[in-house]
Amino acid sequence: MGDGRAGVGPVGMVAQESRTWSVFHSLPWLVGWVSLTVMGPWVAAKIIYQTCNLVLSWIFQKDEVLRGKVVFVTGASSGLGEALAHSLYKRGARLILAARNIEKLNEIKETLLKTYRPPEVHLPIVVKLDLEDLNSIDGIVQDLLNTVGHIDILINNAGISYRGTVDQTDISVDIKLMVVNYFGQVALTKAVLPSMKARKEGTIIAVSSIQGKLAIPFRSCYAASKHALQAFFDTLRAEVYDDNIKVSVISPGYIATNLSVNAVTSDGSNYGVMDPTTSSGTEPDKVAEQILNCLITGEEEILLCPFAHRLAVYLRNLMPSVIFSILKRRARKQNETMKKNK
Protein backbone atom coordinates (compact mmCIF):
# COMPACT_ATOMS: atom_id res chain seq x y z
CA MET A 1 0.00 0.00 0.00
CA GLY A 2 1.11 3.54 -0.65
CA ASP A 3 2.08 5.96 2.08
CA GLY A 4 -0.13 8.75 0.71
CA ARG A 5 2.67 10.72 -1.07
CA ALA A 6 2.08 11.64 -4.71
CA GLY A 7 4.58 10.56 -7.33
CA VAL A 8 5.98 7.53 -5.44
CA GLY A 9 6.78 4.47 -7.51
CA PRO A 10 8.39 3.90 -10.93
CA VAL A 11 5.78 5.83 -12.87
CA GLY A 12 5.98 8.81 -10.51
CA MET A 13 9.78 8.81 -10.61
CA VAL A 14 9.79 8.81 -14.42
CA ALA A 15 7.32 11.68 -14.46
CA GLN A 16 9.43 13.65 -11.99
CA GLU A 17 12.64 13.05 -13.99
CA SER A 18 10.82 14.06 -17.16
CA ARG A 19 9.72 17.34 -15.57
CA THR A 20 13.26 17.99 -14.28
CA TRP A 21 14.79 17.35 -17.71
CA SER A 22 12.13 19.54 -19.34
CA VAL A 23 12.97 22.45 -17.01
CA PHE A 24 16.73 21.97 -17.52
CA HIS A 25 16.36 21.64 -21.28
CA SER A 26 14.26 24.81 -21.50
CA LEU A 27 16.55 26.81 -19.20
CA PRO A 28 18.25 28.80 -22.02
CA TRP A 29 14.84 29.76 -23.38
CA LEU A 30 13.72 30.71 -19.87
CA VAL A 31 16.80 32.91 -19.44
CA GLY A 32 16.11 34.51 -22.82
CA TRP A 33 12.47 35.12 -21.95
CA VAL A 34 13.32 36.66 -18.58
CA SER A 35 16.01 38.84 -20.18
CA LEU A 36 13.60 40.13 -22.80
CA THR A 37 10.92 40.71 -20.17
CA VAL A 38 13.28 42.67 -17.94
CA MET A 39 15.37 44.40 -20.60
CA GLY A 40 12.73 44.76 -23.32
CA PRO A 41 11.08 47.92 -21.96
CA TRP A 42 14.49 49.46 -21.21
CA VAL A 43 15.78 48.73 -24.72
CA ALA A 44 12.59 50.10 -26.28
CA ALA A 45 12.83 53.28 -24.17
CA LYS A 46 16.47 53.73 -25.14
CA ILE A 47 15.68 53.33 -28.84
CA ILE A 48 12.86 55.88 -28.60
CA TYR A 49 15.10 58.31 -26.70
CA GLN A 50 17.99 57.97 -29.17
CA THR A 51 15.66 58.37 -32.14
CA CYS A 52 14.04 61.51 -30.70
CA ASN A 53 17.43 62.90 -29.72
CA LEU A 54 18.82 62.28 -33.20
CA VAL A 55 15.81 63.86 -34.95
CA LEU A 56 15.76 66.92 -32.71
CA SER A 57 19.52 67.40 -32.99
CA TRP A 58 19.35 67.00 -36.75
CA ILE A 59 16.55 69.57 -37.01
CA PHE A 60 17.92 72.22 -34.67
CA GLN A 61 21.69 71.74 -34.83
CA LYS A 62 22.60 69.90 -37.98
CA ASP A 63 26.10 70.69 -39.20
CA GLU A 64 26.46 73.95 -37.24
CA VAL A 65 27.77 71.87 -34.34
CA LEU A 66 30.97 71.21 -36.30
CA ARG A 67 31.45 74.60 -37.95
CA GLY A 68 34.70 76.21 -36.83
CA LYS A 69 35.53 73.36 -34.43
CA VAL A 70 39.16 72.26 -34.22
CA VAL A 71 39.10 68.53 -34.96
CA PHE A 72 42.21 66.35 -34.59
CA VAL A 73 41.92 63.13 -36.64
CA THR A 74 44.55 60.38 -36.43
CA GLY A 75 45.02 57.74 -39.12
CA ALA A 76 43.79 60.35 -41.61
CA SER A 77 45.85 59.24 -44.62
CA SER A 78 43.44 56.51 -45.77
CA GLY A 79 40.28 54.53 -45.08
CA LEU A 80 37.96 55.79 -42.39
CA GLY A 81 40.31 58.63 -41.41
CA GLU A 82 40.30 60.00 -44.95
CA ALA A 83 36.50 59.69 -45.12
CA LEU A 84 36.23 61.59 -41.82
CA ALA A 85 38.44 64.33 -43.24
CA HIS A 86 36.03 64.83 -46.15
CA SER A 87 32.89 64.72 -43.99
CA LEU A 88 34.29 67.15 -41.45
CA TYR A 89 35.91 69.63 -43.83
CA LYS A 90 32.82 70.18 -45.98
CA ARG A 91 30.95 71.12 -42.80
CA GLY A 92 33.42 73.86 -41.95
CA ALA A 93 35.59 72.13 -39.35
CA ARG A 94 39.18 73.25 -38.73
CA LEU A 95 41.10 70.05 -39.40
CA ILE A 96 44.30 68.64 -37.98
CA LEU A 97 45.12 65.55 -40.04
CA ALA A 98 47.70 63.19 -38.56
CA ALA A 99 49.36 60.02 -39.86
CA ARG A 100 52.79 58.60 -40.64
CA ASN A 101 52.44 59.23 -44.39
CA ILE A 102 52.84 63.00 -44.68
CA GLU A 103 52.82 62.90 -48.50
CA LYS A 104 49.40 61.25 -48.55
CA LEU A 105 48.11 63.76 -46.01
CA ASN A 106 49.20 66.64 -48.23
CA GLU A 107 47.40 65.03 -51.18
CA ILE A 108 44.22 64.78 -49.13
CA LYS A 109 44.61 68.39 -48.05
CA GLU A 110 44.83 69.56 -51.66
CA THR A 111 41.81 67.45 -52.61
CA LEU A 112 39.74 68.98 -49.81
CA LEU A 113 40.66 72.51 -50.84
CA LYS A 114 39.81 71.85 -54.49
CA THR A 115 36.62 69.84 -53.93
CA TYR A 116 34.62 71.70 -51.30
CA ARG A 117 33.34 75.18 -50.57
CA PRO A 118 32.57 74.86 -46.86
CA PRO A 119 30.61 77.51 -44.89
CA GLU A 120 33.90 78.45 -43.22
CA VAL A 121 37.19 77.90 -45.06
CA HIS A 122 40.07 76.77 -42.88
CA LEU A 123 43.38 75.50 -44.18
CA PRO A 124 43.85 71.93 -42.88
CA ILE A 125 46.98 71.30 -40.81
CA VAL A 126 48.90 68.12 -41.57
CA VAL A 127 51.05 66.47 -38.92
CA LYS A 128 53.40 63.52 -39.11
CA LEU A 129 52.44 61.27 -36.20
CA ASP A 130 53.79 57.82 -35.39
CA LEU A 131 51.92 56.33 -32.45
CA GLU A 132 54.72 53.82 -31.88
CA ASP A 133 56.96 56.73 -30.92
CA LEU A 134 55.26 57.41 -27.60
CA ASN A 135 57.89 59.92 -26.46
CA SER A 136 57.16 62.25 -29.39
CA ILE A 137 53.41 62.57 -28.83
CA ASP A 138 53.36 65.13 -26.03
CA GLY A 139 55.68 67.49 -27.92
CA ILE A 140 53.60 67.27 -31.10
CA VAL A 141 50.42 68.11 -29.19
CA GLN A 142 52.04 71.05 -27.40
CA ASP A 143 53.24 72.46 -30.74
CA LEU A 144 49.72 72.14 -32.13
CA LEU A 145 48.18 73.85 -29.11
CA ASN A 146 50.65 76.71 -29.49
CA THR A 147 49.53 77.03 -33.12
CA VAL A 148 45.75 76.59 -32.95
CA GLY A 149 45.11 77.50 -29.31
CA HIS A 150 42.89 74.53 -28.42
CA ILE A 151 41.45 71.25 -29.68
CA ASP A 152 37.67 70.83 -29.57
CA ILE A 153 37.42 67.24 -30.79
CA LEU A 154 39.97 64.42 -30.77
CA ILE A 155 39.17 61.38 -32.93
CA ASN A 156 41.46 58.47 -32.10
CA ASN A 157 41.11 56.56 -35.35
CA ALA A 158 44.60 55.22 -36.14
CA GLY A 159 45.32 51.54 -35.69
CA ILE A 160 46.59 48.31 -37.22
CA SER A 161 45.07 44.86 -37.49
CA TYR A 162 46.50 41.36 -37.13
CA ARG A 163 46.10 37.80 -38.37
CA GLY A 164 47.66 34.80 -36.63
CA THR A 165 47.49 32.09 -34.00
CA VAL A 166 48.34 32.70 -30.35
CA ASP A 167 50.99 29.97 -30.11
CA GLN A 168 52.90 31.11 -33.20
CA THR A 169 52.75 34.86 -32.62
CA ASP A 170 55.97 36.46 -31.46
CA ILE A 171 55.56 38.59 -28.34
CA SER A 172 56.95 41.58 -30.24
CA VAL A 173 53.79 41.54 -32.38
CA ASP A 174 51.58 41.60 -29.28
CA ILE A 175 53.59 44.56 -28.00
CA LYS A 176 53.36 46.40 -31.34
CA LEU A 177 49.58 46.05 -31.46
CA MET A 178 49.20 47.25 -27.88
CA VAL A 179 51.49 50.24 -28.46
CA VAL A 180 49.76 51.43 -31.63
CA ASN A 181 46.16 50.51 -30.81
CA TYR A 182 46.19 51.24 -27.09
CA PHE A 183 49.19 53.02 -25.56
CA GLY A 184 49.50 55.45 -28.48
CA GLN A 185 45.82 56.41 -28.19
CA VAL A 186 46.16 56.77 -24.43
CA ALA A 187 49.29 58.93 -24.71
CA LEU A 188 47.63 61.20 -27.28
CA THR A 189 44.48 61.52 -25.20
CA LYS A 190 46.47 62.35 -22.06
CA ALA A 191 48.41 65.01 -23.98
CA VAL A 192 45.20 66.70 -25.19
CA LEU A 193 43.17 66.24 -22.01
CA PRO A 194 44.65 68.99 -19.76
CA SER A 195 43.76 71.74 -22.24
CA MET A 196 40.20 70.41 -22.51
CA LYS A 197 39.86 70.30 -18.72
CA ALA A 198 41.17 73.84 -18.44
CA ARG A 199 38.49 75.03 -20.89
CA LYS A 200 35.81 72.77 -19.36
CA GLU A 201 34.92 71.67 -22.86
CA GLY A 202 35.83 68.98 -25.37
CA THR A 203 34.92 65.73 -27.08
CA ILE A 204 37.03 62.60 -27.37
CA ILE A 205 36.13 59.84 -29.80
CA ALA A 206 37.75 56.41 -29.67
CA VAL A 207 37.30 54.30 -32.79
CA SER A 208 37.41 50.80 -31.39
CA SER A 209 35.93 47.68 -33.03
CA ILE A 210 33.21 45.17 -32.40
CA GLN A 211 36.17 42.95 -31.49
CA GLY A 212 36.62 45.19 -28.49
CA LYS A 213 33.32 43.69 -27.34
CA LEU A 214 33.62 40.17 -28.73
CA ALA A 215 36.95 38.49 -29.46
CA ILE A 216 37.15 36.07 -32.39
CA PRO A 217 39.74 33.43 -33.34
CA PHE A 218 43.06 34.48 -34.95
CA ARG A 219 42.75 38.10 -33.82
CA SER A 220 44.10 37.72 -30.28
CA CYS A 221 46.32 40.79 -29.88
CA TYR A 222 44.04 42.98 -32.00
CA ALA A 223 41.00 42.07 -29.91
CA ALA A 224 43.03 42.49 -26.72
CA SER A 225 44.11 46.00 -27.71
CA LYS A 226 40.53 46.98 -28.53
CA HIS A 227 39.22 45.52 -25.25
CA ALA A 228 41.81 47.62 -23.42
CA LEU A 229 40.78 50.69 -25.40
CA GLN A 230 37.13 50.14 -24.48
CA ALA A 231 37.97 49.84 -20.78
CA PHE A 232 40.19 52.94 -20.73
CA PHE A 233 37.65 55.21 -22.38
CA ASP A 234 34.77 53.85 -20.31
CA THR A 235 36.76 54.86 -17.23
CA LEU A 236 37.73 58.23 -18.72
CA ARG A 237 34.09 59.03 -19.55
CA ALA A 238 33.11 58.82 -15.91
CA GLU A 239 36.14 60.73 -14.62
CA VAL A 240 35.78 63.76 -16.92
CA TYR A 241 32.00 64.04 -16.81
CA ASP A 242 32.12 66.95 -14.33
CA ASP A 243 34.62 68.72 -16.61
CA ASN A 244 32.01 68.82 -19.39
CA ILE A 245 34.15 66.56 -21.61
CA LYS A 246 32.25 64.02 -23.68
CA VAL A 247 33.74 60.61 -24.41
CA SER A 248 32.34 58.26 -27.04
CA VAL A 249 33.45 54.81 -28.14
CA ILE A 250 32.59 53.78 -31.70
CA SER A 251 32.70 50.04 -32.36
CA PRO A 252 32.38 49.32 -36.09
CA GLY A 253 32.11 45.93 -37.71
CA TYR A 254 33.88 45.31 -41.00
CA ILE A 255 34.71 48.44 -43.03
CA ALA A 256 35.74 48.28 -46.69
CA THR A 257 39.29 49.62 -46.18
CA ASN A 258 42.83 48.27 -46.51
CA LEU A 259 42.88 47.26 -42.84
CA SER A 260 43.35 43.56 -43.57
CA VAL A 261 45.88 44.26 -46.34
CA ASN A 262 47.99 46.31 -43.94
CA ALA A 263 47.57 43.87 -41.05
CA VAL A 264 50.58 42.18 -39.49
CA THR A 265 51.00 38.42 -39.11
CA SER A 266 52.40 36.26 -36.33
CA ASP A 267 56.02 37.03 -37.28
CA GLY A 268 55.42 40.74 -37.84
CA SER A 269 55.35 40.58 -41.63
CA ASN A 270 52.64 42.18 -43.73
CA TYR A 271 49.48 40.13 -44.28
CA GLY A 272 48.84 41.67 -47.70
CA VAL A 273 45.46 40.04 -48.34
CA MET A 274 42.05 41.67 -48.73
CA ASP A 275 39.73 39.47 -46.68
CA PRO A 276 36.27 38.86 -48.17
CA THR A 277 34.66 40.06 -44.94
CA THR A 278 36.61 43.31 -45.14
CA SER A 279 35.99 43.95 -48.83
CA SER A 280 32.25 43.44 -48.33
CA GLY A 281 32.17 45.70 -45.27
CA THR A 282 30.45 49.07 -44.88
CA GLU A 283 31.82 51.90 -47.02
CA PRO A 284 34.07 54.28 -45.01
CA ASP A 285 32.06 57.38 -45.92
CA LYS A 286 28.91 55.83 -44.42
CA VAL A 287 30.72 55.01 -41.18
CA ALA A 288 32.17 58.54 -41.14
CA GLU A 289 28.68 60.03 -41.40
CA GLN A 290 27.49 57.89 -38.49
CA ILE A 291 30.42 59.07 -36.38
CA LEU A 292 29.50 62.67 -37.22
CA ASN A 293 25.95 61.95 -36.11
CA CYS A 294 27.46 60.75 -32.83
CA LEU A 295 29.27 64.08 -32.51
CA ILE A 296 26.00 65.93 -33.10
CA THR A 297 23.83 63.85 -30.75
CA GLY A 298 26.45 63.18 -28.07
CA GLU A 299 25.89 59.42 -27.94
CA GLU A 300 28.44 57.76 -25.67
CA GLU A 301 28.68 54.41 -27.42
CA ILE A 302 27.70 53.09 -30.83
CA LEU A 303 27.85 49.63 -32.35
CA LEU A 304 28.09 50.04 -36.13
CA CYS A 305 27.49 46.50 -37.35
CA PRO A 306 24.80 44.16 -38.71
CA PHE A 307 22.10 42.83 -36.39
CA ALA A 308 23.66 39.35 -36.25
CA HIS A 309 26.90 40.83 -34.87
CA ARG A 310 24.99 42.92 -32.33
CA LEU A 311 23.11 39.82 -31.23
CA ALA A 312 26.40 37.96 -30.76
CA VAL A 313 27.66 40.73 -28.47
CA TYR A 314 24.50 40.58 -26.37
CA LEU A 315 24.58 36.79 -26.20
CA ARG A 316 28.22 36.97 -25.06
CA ASN A 317 26.91 38.60 -21.89
CA LEU A 318 23.65 36.70 -21.50
CA MET A 319 24.58 33.19 -22.67
CA PRO A 320 28.38 33.04 -23.09
CA SER A 321 28.52 29.26 -23.53
CA VAL A 322 26.49 29.56 -26.74
CA ILE A 323 28.95 32.06 -28.24
CA PHE A 324 31.95 30.06 -27.04
CA SER A 325 30.63 26.98 -28.87
CA ILE A 326 30.13 28.98 -32.08
CA LEU A 327 33.65 30.43 -31.88
CA LYS A 328 35.17 26.99 -31.26
CA ARG A 329 33.51 25.64 -34.39
CA ARG A 330 34.66 28.70 -36.33
CA ALA A 331 38.25 28.22 -35.17
CA ARG A 332 38.17 24.52 -36.07
CA LYS A 333 36.85 25.31 -39.54
CA GLN A 334 39.47 28.01 -40.13
CA ASN A 335 42.22 25.68 -38.91
CA GLU A 336 41.14 23.00 -41.38
CA THR A 337 41.10 25.56 -44.20
CA MET A 338 44.59 26.79 -43.35
CA LYS A 339 45.94 23.23 -43.26
CA LYS A 340 44.50 22.53 -46.70
CA ASN A 341 46.05 25.70 -48.11
CA LYS A 342 49.55 24.82 -46.87
Whether the CB-CB separation of 291 and 205 falls below 8 Å is answered with yes
Secondary structure of residue 59 in the 3-state scheme: helix
The sign of the torsion formed by the CA atoms of 206, 209, 213, 219 equals: negative
CA distance 89 to 117: 9
Helix axes 134-148, 184-199, angle to 10 degrees: 30
Q: Determine which one of 162, 222, 254, 271 is catalytic.
A: 222
Residue 182 annotated as catalytic: no
- For residues 71-106, one letter each, b for 16 or more C-beta atoms within 10 angstroms of the residue's C-beta and e for the rest, the string is bbbbbbbbbbbbbbbbbbbbbbbbbbbbbeeeebbe
Q: Rg of the chain's alpha carbons, rounded to an integer?
A: 25
CA distance 206 to 243: 18
Report the DSSP pairing between strands 94-99 and 125-128: parallel
Sort 27 into a burial class: Cβ within 10 Å, 0-12 / 13-18 / 19+.
exposed
- Catalytic residue positions? 222
